Structure 1
Amino acid sequence: MKKPNILLITSDQQHWNTLGAFNGEIHTPHLDRLVRSGTTFTRAYCPNPTCTPSRASIITGQYPSQHGAWTLGTKLLENRHCVGEDFSAAGYQTALVGKAHFQPLCSTELYPSLEAYPVLQDLEKWKHFDSPFYGFDHVELARNHTNEAHVGQHYALWMEEKGCVNWRDYFLAPTGTMDPAITYKWSIPEEYHYNTWIAERTNALMEKYIDAEQPFFLWSSFFDPHPEYLAPEPWDTMYDPDALTIPSIVPGEHDNNPPHFGKTQEDHPDYSAWKETGQGIHGYRSHLYYEYGERKKLTEYDKKKLVAIYYGMISLMDKYIGRILDKLDELGIAENTIVVFTTDHGHFFGQHGLQAKGGFHYEDLIRLPFIVRYPGHVPAGATSDAIQSLVDLAPTFLSLCGIPVPHAMTGVNQSQVWRGIDSSVRDHAICEFRHEPTTIHQKTYVDHRYKITVYYNQTYGEVFDLHEDPNELNNLWDDPGHAALKSELLLKYIWAELGKEPMPMPRISGA
């Protein structure tokens, strides 16, 4: 039997309800193609709502508390076992194109980083880089979201090869010369946008592998719609801000929440009690202000326009995902390729008065868009509420390809659920957020109806009934009428923690 290919397509920081097939306010015709030809899982979750921990979980099949890349600014240690190694051993070509973010922007002697300054902008190094990288035999990398100064690596090389000699004009100082006051419209021509690069290089690699008659495990990793909110013409004006539903806070909704929620609605909140390492902490700030670039209070226009740009960024990305899907058809391999589309974590664009991300485990942030297509194996045009987690991707991919799953992987094998044979293999998901060693350390247990979040060394927390309160406005943690429910959920959470401990090998002897 011919080995199936694996094509993993991810966005970055995409809200679960931003697929045109389910949200009439956004246009995603190519992702809708996947919806029609595959199964959409409506209850998929990230293991951590930040980039490095969640992305490391995808390739290790372990939770951040297990693989060790526990927050932004850490790295996935090179001695961790990654799923690409299993695919390589089984005769697969393995590659990643786009965003990795397995390592930090800073490098030290003890913890060197290939994604750090100044090496990420040493273009001569990247021109000849051919070393394995976390189980991928081939990588083509970039590190910048939109116009960030972190631009470099293979993306910068590609722009130069395409004749874009003035590419620095489209990026911020100190790398580039773009005016930081410019918002929403990005002057970069679409032909030099990183979406174009990712699709072009993904397609070239697939063509190369098929010509050589080699199966592949390929991760096509897009950067959008991660802020800053910038899109080139005409995508910056594709959506009328006044025609969109703009989420907003409900007065009093944070009254019963832990203190860091309500502080987000203050002009100058004091989060000093949570600061431990001296590094920045995502989300612990005033959400009345724009997070990127200059500190600027969000006007009503801004609140609408940023949603319009966010949607435009998704629609632009969708166009290039379509080019990748077209290439599968052109190569004649669509029937033998398992395609998964998802994201690393969600996003706030006004829900609960919040912007971007942080230590707020609402569904908006930890729930994901998640589509699986495998013609003849995964039901087409179906939806499922079977709980999924990104930590399940590695063991499930291996199982579908007939490759043994390492015992140390703690994600569950979803292959029978994807095939429509079993209704579910999970009764819960766990999401972690540890952004400081002790002061910002929380975990969430979510099942088909309830959700509980606990905080290290704190007596506050959250309990939500997702059936009766789908918008998560009524925290039941301190409600006397739900004390028994809280106790039951705490016990289930402890069981879940015990259940996800790794067992690197089976027991083979009595002693």
Structure 2
Amino acid sequence: MSDADARPNVLFVLTDQERYDCSAPDGPPVETETMDRLSSQGKRFSQAFTPISICSSARASLLTGRFPHGHGMLNNCHEADAIRTDLPPDIPTFSEALEANGYDCTYTGKWHVGRNRTPENYGFSYLGGSDTHHDDIDEAFREYRRQRGSPLDEVDLTERIYTGADPYDDESGTFVSAKTPTDVEETRAWFLAERTIDAIDRHSSGADGSGPFFHRADFYGPHHPYVVPEPYASMYDPAEIEPPESYAETFDGKPRVHENYLAYRGVTDFEWETWADALAKYWGFVTLIDDQLERILDALESSGLAEETVVVHSSDHGDFVGGHRQFNKGPLMYDDTYRIPLQIRWPGVVDPGSTCSRPVHLHDLAATFLEIADVAVPETFDARSLVSLLENHSEERPVWPDSVFAQYHGDEFGLYSQRMVRTTRYKYVYNGPDVDELYDLEADPGELQNLIDHPDYEAVRHGMRERLIEWMDDTNDPNRGWVPDVLRGASQDVG
């Protein structure tokens, strides 16, 4: 590209399993000063959703701009029962298009979109930061810890919590949370921020060429295990954390798998005190990452590139951490795991401190990145660019869907077909093997009462099912061959 290339740089920070409410204005008291600053300097999306609440599938959607049924990575690629271990190489990705059109694309941190194909197969230069947590791309972080004299396998953690009958002593369960005695500088979050700062410095010096850059920083947190050092480990007092509204879950009228999942995840016997201990570490993890984001943004400012760089922060999906009494994620399409944070700062384009309430998808970012770069969006994308929602000089309100569409296909416990359509007020979930769900989010934000058979919601149920059918048709969902007849038949039978 020419030295006169005026297209903006893009800095994309993706967290792993970060809840929407942690940085929401009306959310819990989590310290997210940097994310809040990003919102005050840019635009916060209050209705952003992942297309699927499982890591590999969501990340593949982000890369390809397609819903999971379009790219075929329906569950996690590292598991023994993975439907696909890698993306098919012939599916276009936004990063390859950027690289082909003059962007210098770099990547640090978590990958988890394939066992054999890495970021370097998709137009990125990989700068390290992965280890054996789902991705064995390199051992840079392990070597970093060895050099600092605190090898990863030789640290004595305290305040450990595990799933199982005795969460404070049963190491046979899943590792949930703990406090580490290491310094903040020895955390993976710090290391990934440092690698990202190095990338910004290289870009600003011209070492990577004269064209614009796209850098993607993928943090491993706040995904469990929620292991944090001081001051983050004791930053939030578990005794002062109140249960969320959804903790009153009774499972009455819900699909059977919801209650079964307590046993599957090993949290049947968890009391609120245990969840509060874990949630305090989760919040500490969020604040730790927020502080690393501050370091990154300060480096961008010092480089002189802030005014010509679009900064985007989002997450692949959320986390229950006790919501609905659940741990992690699964075949439960609640906002705890499907609603995600999204903030975009674009100097000179986005009105500082603005909020967008239009419903958008995580993988809409794939088309957005391409339009920002003045690159054509492939016809294969199911994504819709957010640029028209970002521009502060737009004279017309863009035509935009009034709902989002999501799906789930199962993870390590087996296949389980779900589809969801959500408007600002209502959510409808199609559960292939069990009872469907309908929630009035205005009257019941905790999603506790399933209204699928409520006679007063017959028209809502019918309308939401029609919306779902339209989404399935528009996205060539393979289940559209028979599910619409099932839904329309059910609407006639009930009420």
Same fold by TM (over 0.5)? yes
Q: State the partner residue of 1:281.
A: none
The structure-2 alpha-carbon separation of the partners of 1:62 and 1:27, relative to structure 1 and needing over 3 Å to count, comes to same
Are 1:17 and 2:21 an aligned pair?
A: yes
Residue-by-residue CA offset, 1:381-400 (whole Å, 9 max, x unaligned):
11121111111011111112
Are 1:170 and 2:155 an aligned pair?
A: yes
Contact 2:38 2:345 in 1 (8 A): yes
Residue 132 of structure 1 deviates from its aligned partner by 2.0
Are 1:442 and 2:418 an aligned pair?
A: yes
Residue-by-residue CA offset, 1:288-331 (whole Å, 9 max, x unaligned):
2xxxxxxxx43443221111111111111111110100011001
The structure-2 alpha-carbon separation of the partners of 1:149 and 1:387, relative to structure 1 and needing over 3 Å to count, comes to closer
Indicate the larger mover: 85-94 or 256-265.
256-265
Q: For 1:140, which of 128, 151, 171 is the aligned residue?
A: 128
Indicate the larger mover: 418-427 or 193-202.
418-427
Distance 2:144 2:415 in 1: 42
Q: TM-score, normalised by structure 1?
A: 0.81
Q: State the partner residue of 1:33.
A: 37
Residue-by-residue CA offset, 1:399-444 (whole Å, 9 max, x unaligned):
1221111111111111101224336623221111111698411111
Q: State the partner residue of 2:252.
A: 255
Distance 1:435 1:250 in 2: 24
Indicate the larger mover: 7-16 or 462-471.
462-471
Matched position secondary structure for 1:96: strand
Residue-by-residue CA offset, 1:184-216 (whole Å, 9 max, x unaligned):
211333222111111111111111122113311
Distance 1:230 1:17 in 2: 20
Q: For 1:455, which of 405, 427, 431 is the aligned residue?
A: 431
Are 1:209 and 2:203 an aligned pair?
A: yes
Q: For 1:232, which of 221, 229, 233 is the aligned residue?
A: 229
Contact 2:249 2:325 in 1 (8 A): no
Are 1:72 and 2:76 an aligned pair?
A: yes
Distance 2:456 2:114 in 1: 46
Are 1:477 and 2:487 an aligned pair?
A: no
Aligned 1:122-137 pairs, distance under 5 A: 132-137=120-125
Measured on the aligned residues, the alpha-carbon RMSD in Å equals 2.6
Are 1:7 and 2:1 an aligned pair?
A: no
Distance 1:326 1:85 in 2: 28
Contact 2:256 2:434 in 1 (8 A): no
Q: State the partner residue of 1:369.
A: 341
Indicate the larger mover: 309-318 or 21-30.
21-30
Distance 1:431 1:61 in 2: 13
Are 1:244 and 2:241 an aligned pair?
A: yes
Q: State the partner residue of 1:220.
A: 217
Residue 249 of structure 1 deviates from its aligned partner by 5.0
Q: State the partner residue of 1:274.
A: none
Q: Which runs of 5+ in 2 are unaligned?
A: 158-168, 478-495
Matched position secondary structure for 2:344: strand
Q: State the partner residue of 2:184.
A: 190
Residue 450 of structure 1 deviates from its aligned partner by 1.5
Which structure dedicates a bigger proportion of its chain to helix?
A: 2
Aligned 1:97-496 pairs, distance under 5 A: 97-104=108-115, 113=116, 132-143=120-131, 153-160=139-146, 162-164=147-149, 166-170=151-155, 184-212=178-206, 213-247=210-244, 253-264=250-261, 269=263, 284-288=264-268, 297-420=269-392, 421=394, 422=397, 425-435=400-410, 439-456=415-432, 458=433, 460-496=435-471
Matched position secondary structure for 1:348: coil
Q: Residue type matched to 1:142 in 2?
A: S
Matched position secondary structure for 1:487: helix
Contact 1:58 1:391 in 2 (8 A): yes
Distance 2:96 2:33 in 1: 34
Q: TM-score, normalised by structure 2?
A: 0.83
Contact 1:92 1:217 in 2 (8 A): yes
The structure-2 alpha-carbon separation of the partners of 1:251 and 1:396, relative to structure 1 and needing over 3 Å to count, comes to closer
Are 1:83 and 2:87 an aligned pair?
A: no
Distance 2:426 2:473 in 1: 19
Matched position secondary structure for 1:379: coil
Distance 2:337 2:278 in 1: 17
Q: Residue type matched to 2:35 in 1?
A: L
Are 1:59 and 2:63 an aligned pair?
A: yes
Of all paired residues, the percent bearing the same amino acid is: 27
What is the aligned length? 444
